[in-house]
Structure 1
Amino acid sequence: MIKKISIFLGILFFLLFGSSIILGSDELTLEESIKIALDQSLSIYSAKEEIKAKEFEELSAKADFLPKLSSSYTYTRLDNGTVNDAKYTTYPYNPLTGSHFPRSVSPLDTNTYQFNITVTQPLFTGWRLTILREIASLGVDTAKIQKEAAIQDLVLNVKEAYFGILKAEKLENVAKQAVEQLKANLVVSQAFYDEGIIAKNDLLQTEVQMAQARQNLIKAKNGVEITKSLFNKLLRRGLNQRVKIKDILDYYPISLLLDQCIEKAGQNRPEIKEVSLNVMSAEKAIDLAKSSYYPSVTLVGNYQREADDILLGSGPGEDPDNWTITLKGEWTFWEWRKKRHDVAAARAKLAKANYILNEIKDNIQLEVKEAYLSLREAEKNIQVAKKAVVQAEENFRMNEERYKQQVATSTDVLDALTLLTQARTNYFNALSEHNIAWARLERAMGIGYDAETK
């Protein structure tokens, strides 16, 4: 009996509190959101596949150093006229008769079957194979850096979407507060109108303001839904899936100077690393073009079996097998300056890569400065907006009390409420822009969320 009661109480506890526990666990933190996005992102999958492709290309380049083994099987048929034209008469000895007899034979067979196995080993290619392997290795490094850049871009997008939801929810709350305060003011205005204290125009003004506030609330709710859909898209979830995130909208002061931020960007930005690798590849491309100035040396081994039988069988006294070893040197020494032009083209591409690198560095410095100044601007706006909210709340309270005492008009109250709503909106806009500016500065510096700067 006691056991049954315990089971019943356990089920009852789960029904009462279990659902709330489960719902509470659905709240996502920023770190959890980033992890889900990284695990589900198609762009990250694509970057990983690009790394695999470049690794296989590197293995392919390494395989060119090893001997290559090939085989072939051929069948050749000659027309009878050609075979007959090649016939000649021999006089073999017949030991039974003790005399020679005439016999027509042809050195050509109507049907010829040939099987070959060839081994080719490059000995010297003007360092061409070595350079190609090094370029392939740089390709792997470039793909890894591109993946790093894709991760940083995705993290920034998730942060912007995350803080966008928090901003939209705050603005929705501001709109709700405005509606509630207008409701209270409308009750007072209706009472004053019923008593003949205020004119119909004053009551209508409050009602129009209420309608506008409700429209603003509808717009704010729609903004929340849009930001949540964007968030779900980044996490590759259903667009209409429920979203509940932890509120971390707060002020984080910055201790870094602008020069320090620019220095970090120069050290960490994957775009600089990627273009630097492109410069190295361009340098290798010059050496690759120069490799054509040198001769190539190749060792070739070949085994051949030839017979007039499809199974390559041979008769008594026949030797259908032969093999050869060939050391082949080849040097193309004149191509009407083609090699010189190839080298010149490779040098021009190197110069282009260096220009792109310098331009990337300049753009990143500008990007860091813009993000840094935006963060500083948001910091100042937060302090100003926070103070304005306190002042606007007091102004609204005073005008509301004065209106109740009929020493202020409904217009004064509505104006004070408009100022309060705008002050609250400005504060949450500044606070969200501050957090987004932090995320953009981190991306501009090429660092992650857990970096030492925060």
Structure 2
Amino acid sequence: MKAKVKLIITAFSLIPSIATAEGLPLKELLNVALKNNPQIQITEKDYKIARYEQKEAIGKFLPKIELQYSRIFQSDVPEINLSLPAPGLPPQQFPLIEKNYYSFKATLTQPLFTGGYLYYNYKIKSKEEKAVKFQMKAKVNEIKKIIKKDYYSLSEAKTAVDIAKSYVKAARKHLQDAEAFYKEGIVPRRDLLEAKVKYHEALEFLSKARSGYEVALEKLKTDIGVKTVKIDVKKLTYKPLKLDTEKLIETAYQNNPLIKFLKLKKEEANYGVRIAYSQFLPKVAAVIGYERTDQYPGIDKFDETFGALTINVPIFEGTQRYWRTLKAKETKQKVDLSLKEAKDKIKLGIVAAVSKIKSAESRIKTAEAMVEEAKELLKDSEERYKAQVGTSTEVCDAMAYFTKAKGMLNSAIADYNKALAELEYYTGTEIIQKQ
């Protein structure tokens, strides 16, 4: 089990230093985020603690050996008066123990019966170790979802900048055409002014796009946990998916690490109730030992070996056991409710993600058609304007339509990828690889 968890933890150490990293793709960005995230580091410590507690629970089955040495100094000791049979002799006093003496004792105690406490305690710690492992995986999945969505937002923002640049380029070209025609007296001053307005509008559009890119980049760096990093931003694509919501929900109930975590916590709570009941049963232990002392007068050193079978029957502890039992039952019910709530949230998340994906796919198809139509419209409008059978307004409108259509396509593809990241988070699996 230790080796399996290392696949999650120690793999982060294989990542190149961020100081020398250049153009990191999404996969390596995810690794960097996992390596730097403090919550992952905390969960790693929790796992180590749970593993040590499990080993401690195993140790409680083993015998306990104790060595005890004491040196006693007493101000007074009990004495016995002894009358001697010889006439005329006064009674003699003899101490029962020495005033100053030492005692050495070695004992071995082996629990034989604990009412199931040791066994149930071991099962709880074992379940806790596995539960923390899935808690770590759940946190990893959550961070991956955040970084993926940040990356897709950054890619969307970068493409928006590219679209804005092409808008500026087209507006500048139209402005140059309008200026040339105006100088030749072919078009009125209104066409020139309209072209200038459109060009400055395109510059403003580019400025906003660049600002959006900077914000998206800063959010990604913040969530990764680094101040400087060069990112290899790929243009987003999409692959049509055939999604069965019911099967996805079933997959999530089987694979989502949060569900696995809560199921283990439920088993842990069941053993907790059994431990609470074990408090009412007797405890049996075997004891063997060796003792040596010089406390007896007239005997240089006295030693002995001994053995015992101890039975401890709890009778009354001030109702503590009763309240601990009720607490254990409430804890079990609390975990049951948490598991049900988690399943409901995951089901809702999957339904919402699938709905977003289908909506995005529909928008992508519509936007693709709009881009092609707007491209043809712009080409036709420019040709008509150059041939002096079209107006400057037609060209400006066509540029705006083309830019808007490309923006809609870019936004739809980004939304598709973000929804897919959410779906993979809820199901706990890679959706694209399963298609």
TM range (shorter): 0.7 to 0.9
1:447 partnered with 2:429: yes
Query: Which of 287, 300, 303 is the equivalent residue of 1:321?
Result: 303
Q: For residues 333-375 of structure 1, give each alpha carbon's deviation from its aligned partner in whole angstroms, at most 9, with x where no partner exists.
A: 3456554443333233323322222222122111111000100
Compared with structure 1, are the counterparts of its residues 239 and 214 closer, same or farther at alpha carbon in structure 2 (3 Å cutoff)?
farther
Partner-residue secondary structure (3-state), 1:293: coil
Distance 1:113 1:412, change over 3 A: same
Partner of 2:180: 191
Tell me the equivalent position of 2:232: 244
| 2:55 maps to 1:59 | yes
Deviation digits for residues 179-201 of structure 1 (CA, Å, limit 9, x no counterpart): 11111111122233434555555
Please list the CA deviations of residues 111-168 of structure 1 after superposition, one character each: whole Å capped at 9, or x if unmatched: 3333332322211110111000001111011011112212222332332233223212
Q: Select the residue among 279, 283, 289 that pairs with 2:270.
A: 283
Q: Quick check: 2:95–2:297 contact (8 Å CA) kept in 1?
A: no
Structure 1 match to 2:14: none
Q: 1:450 to 1:141 in 2, by over 3 A?
A: farther
Q: Deviations over 1:244-285 (max 9, x none)?
A: 2444x2221112322221221122111221111122112111
Letter in 2 for 1:301: I
Q: Distance in 1 between matches of 2:211 and 2:83?
A: 105
Q: Please state whether the residue corresponding to 1:241 is helix, strand or coil.
A: coil
* Cα gap change, 1:110 to 1:336, in 2 (>3 Å): closer
Equivalent-residue separation in structure 1 for 2:378 and 2:26 (angstroms) = 36
1:228–1:243 contact (8 Å) kept in structure 2 = no
Matched letter for residue 216 of structure 1: F
Q: Determine the structure 1 residue equivalent to 2:74.
A: 78
Among residues 72, 96, 118, which one is paired with 1:129 in the alignment? 118
Q: Give 1:336-375 correspondences, 5 Å limit.
A: 338-375=320-357
* Residues 92, 103 of structure 1: 8 Å contact kept: no
Query: 2:85 and 2:406 mapped to 1: Cα distance?
Result: 119
**Paired residue for 1:272?**
259
* TM-score (norm. length: structure 1): 0.81
Whole-Å Cα distance in 2 between the matches of residues 329 and 294 of structure 1?
Answer: 11
Q: Which residue type is aligned with residue 441 of structure 1?
A: L
Report which of the two structures shows the higher radius of gyration computed on alpha carbons: 1
1:60 CA drift (Å):
0.4
Query: 1:158 matched to which residue of 2?
Result: 147
Partner in structure 2 of residue 173 of structure 1: 162
Residues 449 and 339 (structure 1), Cα distance of their counterparts in 2 relative to 1, 3 Å cut: same
Kindly tell me the number of residue pairs found equivalent between the two proteins: 414
After superposing the two structures, state which structure 1 stretch, 316-325 or 350-359, moved more: 316-325
- Other structure's SS at 1:65 match: coil
Residue number in structure 2 paired with 1:18: none
Report the CA distance between 1:176 and its aligned residue.
Answer: 0.2
Distance 1:369 1:50 in 2: 33
Aligned residue number for residue 283 of structure 2:
296
Task: Give the TM-score taking structure 2 as reference length.
Answer: 0.84
User: For structure 1, which segment, 25-34 or 264-273, has the greater mean C-alpha deviation from structure 2 after superposition?
Assistant: 25-34
Q: In the alignment, what sits opposite 1:5?
A: none
Q: Is 1:399 paired with 2:388?
A: no
1:379 correspondence with 2:375:
no
| 1:331 matches 2:321 | no
In structure 1, the residue matched to 2:12 is none
- My pick for the range that moved more, 429-438 or 338-347, is 338-347
Q: Is the 8 A contact 1:92 1:102 kept in 2?
A: no
1:20-66 Cα offsets, whole Å, 9 max, x none, are xxxxx955444444445445544434333322211111110111111
Gaps of 5+ in 1: 1-24, 94-98, 309-313
Q: Match for 1:422 among 404, 409, 414?
A: 404
Q: Secondary structure of the equivalent of 1:430? A: helix
SS in structure 2 at match of 1:120? strand
Equivalent-residue separation in structure 1 for 2:191 and 2:285 (angstroms): 100
Distance change >3 Å, CA 67–CA 92, structure 1 → 2: farther
Aligned-pair CA distance for 1:75? 3.2
Would the aligned equivalents of 1:28 and 1:246 in 2 still touch at CA under 8 Å? Answer: no
Supply the RMSD in Å over aligned alpha carbons. Answer: 3.1
* SS of equivalent residue, structure 2 residue 330: helix
Which residue does 2:127 correspond to in 1? 138
In structure 2, the residue corresponding to 1:437 is in which secondary structure?
Answer: helix
Local SS of the residue matching 1:70: strand
Q: Which residue of 1 aligns with 2:3?
A: none
1: CA distance, partners of 2:358 / 2:298: 97
| 2:190 is aligned with 1:208 | no
The letter for the 1-side match of 2:146 is N
CA–CA separation in structure 1 for the residues paired with 2:429 and 2:31: 16
